[in-house]
Amino acid sequence: MSDSLGSGPAAAPAPPPQTTLRRRLAELRGPTVAPQPLDARALAALAANPGCRRRALLDGAGVDKAALATALGSPAPFGQSQFAFMRGNAFEAKVKADGGTELMRLVAERLGGAAPPPGPGEVLVPDLSAAGPEGRVARTALALREATEAAAWALLDHPLLALEVAGSPAYLEPDAVVVRPDGRWTVVEIKSFPMIDGSADAAKVGAAARQAAVYALALERVAAVTAGAEVGHRVLLVCPKDFSNLPTASVVDVRKQLSVTRRQLARLTRIEEIAEALPEGTTFDVERCSGAELTTAVEAVSAAYAPECLAACELAFHCRSAARTDGAVEALGRGVRGELGGLTTVPAVLAAARGEAGDPADPTVATLRRAAALRAEALEEGRRRAASLSAAESVAAEGVVAEGVVEEAACR
């Protein structure tokens, strides 16, 4: 008989890849550190800069970037004041009061179409509570399917949606999703900034539109397996009217944001690929690591800094400092970086402009040298004019002195 029959116990099966990835991400953020949720605002910022492997990894691992930035010595002034947070919650509660009567009136008024507005008691408000995020996601999907099959108005208050980002699941919680009798699902964003004379701050509306596009993208995954369902590309933005606390609404078309977000998220490098390239033992555990160790860990992952990061990422000040130290042209903006081609540092750009380096046949180098020549010519012309003006002023001053001497002599 073969000796293999008595060779001992069989080897344990390898853990599933998803389990291995979760364990690795837990090691990166720290075994005792709770993961930070990846919300729609973070996803919108991540989609706006898909080339930043550093943010993709840290967000995928659930690392608290604000605490990490503080430990690195470059804290970012992010966050919402307690007063603004409480005001936002109070306004959202007012909009959804009485079973969402006011909210459904705004939806029917702005997006109702041919469907008549719902009457009292005609709006389904399903219970979305369940155990764990996976349970809440499943309960939300079931409620969406049931409301669509019933061909009735339905209001889902804080549903939970799932979206895979670079191979890692992200759980998203919109303010509300409304199901209309025709099977269309509409994302509702409730914000506390005012809408004065029918319009709100363009920057804030743009940020809300990008967040709503992330929610719509997650809804599309559920609608794809739900008969008769369609995700509307127009979302409802609800804000306080003028300087009051009365809700008003505006319709925002997010087709452009939806297309950009879908394309940019697809470009993200998978989290496991980034994690595998890290040195053994790399961790971002702010509770156990020193500032020097965290700096080494952060620098082990490449970043794609741009000035726009200052308004969207907690690590932006650290990345900006590193970019300036390295003389990277990214610190000057994406537009400048795109114009400079293969010249990636400020010293290289200056050397090419002075004729000390670079291929003269390169259009970028030729443009820089032409610009340097024009600048030198303009400076020389300015110096000549300044010299001429100084000479004229000297002659005029001498004339004034001479006139004073003549007048004094005449008086004597």
Q: What is the DSSP letter of 10?
A: P
* Confidence category of residue 5, pLDDT binned at 50, 70, 90: very low
Core vs surface per residue 241-277: b (16+ CB within 10 A) or e: beeeeebbbbebebeebbebbeebbeebbebbebbee
Burial of 49 (0-12, 13-18, 19+ CB in 10 A): buried
How much is the average pLDDT of 304-312?
88
Confidence band, pLDDT 50/70/90 cuts, at residue 49: confident
pLDDT grade, residue 321 (50/70/90)? very high
Q: Tens digit of pLDDT for each residue in 80-103?
A: 667 777 888 899 999 998 888 889
Q: What is the pLDDT of residues 93-135, one digit of tens each?
A: 999 988 888 899 899 888 866 667 787 778 999 999 999 899 9
What are the tens digits of pLDDT across the range 224-233?
Answer: 999 999 999 9
pLDDT score, position 391: 63
Residue 346 has pLDDT above 80, yes or no: yes
pLDDT of 387 higher than 50: yes
Query: What is the per-residue pLDDT across 242-277, written as a single tens digit (0 to 9) for each?
Result: 888 899 999 999 999 999 888 888 887 788 889 889
Mean pLDDT of 66-80: 84
The pair of structure tokens assigned to 273 is 């690929």
Of all residues in the chain, the percent with pLDDT exceeding 90 is 42
Phi, psi of 184 (to 5 degrees): -90, 135
CB 59 within 8 A of CB 38: yes
Band (19; pLDDT cuts 50, 70, 90)? low
Report pLDDT for 6. 46
Give the up-direction half-sphere exposure of residue 31: CA atoms within 13 A in the CB hemisphere: 2
Confidence of residue 24 (pLDDT cuts 50, 70, 90): confident
pLDDT number for residue 392? 60
Longest dimension (CA), the chain: 141
Q: Which of 10-19, 48-57, 212-221, 256-265 has the lowest mean pLDDT?
A: 10-19
| Average pLDDT of the segment spanning 320-341 | 86
Mean pLDDT, residues 342-351: 85
Assign 1 a pLDDT band (cuts: 50, 70, 90): very low
Whole-model pTM: value is 0.73
Q: How many CB atoms lie under 10 A from the CB of residue 165?
A: 20
Report residue 357's pLDDT band, with 50, 70 and 90 as the boundaries: confident
Is pLDDT above 80 for 407? no
* Predicted confidence band of residue 401 (pLDDT cuts 50, 70, 90): very low
DSSP assigned state of 279: P
Question: Is it the case that residue 397 has pLDDT exceeding 50?
Answer: yes
* Average pLDDT value for residue range 318-326: 91
Mean pLDDT in residue range 56-67: 90
Contact 216, 258 (CB under 8 A): yes
User: What's the pLDDT score for residue 406?
Assistant: 41
